[in-house]
Structure 1
Amino acid sequence: MGGRRTLIVASLAAVVSLGSVLLAMSPAVAHHGWPGFKTDQLIYIAGTVSSDGVWGNPHSQFEVTLDRSLPAETPDLTIPEQLQDPEDSVRVEAAGSYKGPHKKLDIIIAPPPWSARWGLGRALKIGERFQAVGYINRSDDRLFRPVVFWYGDDNVPVNQVLGDALPVRAPLPK
């Protein structure tokens, strides 16, 4: 009986330990994974980079001070080749502008090797122009994750999805 009791106690301890690890990981998963974002609505933002942020793994992150007025929807910008499928490009082009309460948003993008693969091989600089279409985080409405962004005065496009399609094809705005 003592062996069975030890086994039960050990199993319970393992379950509690695993639960603690998963609980500690859940903010990171929500923070980084697409399911942690409101993928039912693409949002357009524009502004200037306003922090050095972090340039590294698992994601790069920085702050953008938003323009005081934004157009109703995404302006005419070059869509990256990977997202030119009409099912995706029409959604990017029709994304409505950010109407939230914040003047600054924290931006989370792919790590440097991924961003470099699609056209951004360096950290963005404070004061540099930044435009993006993406999603607001479900639990932190100051956190924004682009599916595509454009940087600099030349509006260089950078794909931010794995592959060549949006993670979720949200309904088109009405």
Structure 2
Amino acid sequence: MKSITVHTRRGLRGLRLLVGAGTAAVVALATVLISVLPAAAHHGWPGFETDRLVYIAGTVSSDGVWGNPHSQFDVTLDSNLPADTPELAIPEQLQDPEDSVRVKAARSYKGLHKELEVIIAPPAWSGQWGLGRALKIGERFRAVGYINRTNDGLFRPVVFWYGDDAVPVNQVLGNTLPVRAPLPK
């Protein structure tokens, strides 16, 4: 009997260690998932008001971050934006009439912010579509995109134009808008 009792105690000790390690693994996994969920909502198209395209224009006002998973920087908005998107070259990938008409019809930003945080595709994608470097403070920036649903100071373009030459850059990483918002009336 004595050997069985010793064996059982060892078994219980092993079980306790296993349960403790399992609990630690669950806590670690939950911590990772909780930290990833805001990022997914923050960066994914569903986290943005995709029912309405908005035009912004201004100058880059921060060095921001040029890297993965997304590049980010601030733009100080022009104080007198036009009512609609001005005539700008549409990237080849977004020239389908269903998309280009919507981009050209986007209404100017009318929110309360004088500066917006802009989130764009990572360098590999932005480089593929026309921007192979970080934007510089003071550089001209124009864009059509969406305002974040939970942070109205965050903007994600579907297309943007940079520099004095208004070089167009596709940001949908494909050939169509992520959501074809209704045309403004």
Normalised to the residue count of structure 2, the TM-score between the two structures is: 0.85
Task: Identify unmatched segments of 5+ residues in structure 1.
Answer: none
Q: Which has the larger radius of gyration?
A: 2
Q: CA RMSD in A?
A: 2.0
Partner of 2:84: 73
The separation in 2 between residues aligned to 1:125 and 1:35, in whole angstroms, is 29
CA deviation digits over 1:48-98, x for unaligned, max 9? 001111111111110000000111110000000000000100100000100
Partner of 2:8: none
More helix by share: 2
The separation in 1 between residues aligned to 2:142 and 2:164, in whole angstroms, is 10
**CA spacing shift, 1:123–1:5, aligned 2, 3 Å:** closer
Of 59-68 and 24-33, the range deviating more from structure 2:
24-33
- 1:113 to partner: Cα distance: 1.2
Structure 1 runs (4+) greater than 3 angstroms displaced? 4-20
Q: Tell me the number of residue pairs that the alignment of Structure 1 and Structure 2 aligns.
A: 174
- 1:25 to partner: Cα distance: 1.2
Partner of 2:6: none
Partner of 1:118: 129
Q: Identity of paired residues, percent? A: 77
CA deviation digits over 1:97-126, x for unaligned, max 9? 000000000000111111111111111111
CA deviation digits over 1:11-54, x for unaligned, max 9? 77766554443222111001111111111110000000011111
Task: Identify unmatched segments of 5+ residues in structure 2.
Answer: 1-14
Secondary structure at 1:30 match in 2? helix
Normalised to the residue count of structure 1, the TM-score between the two structures is: 0.91
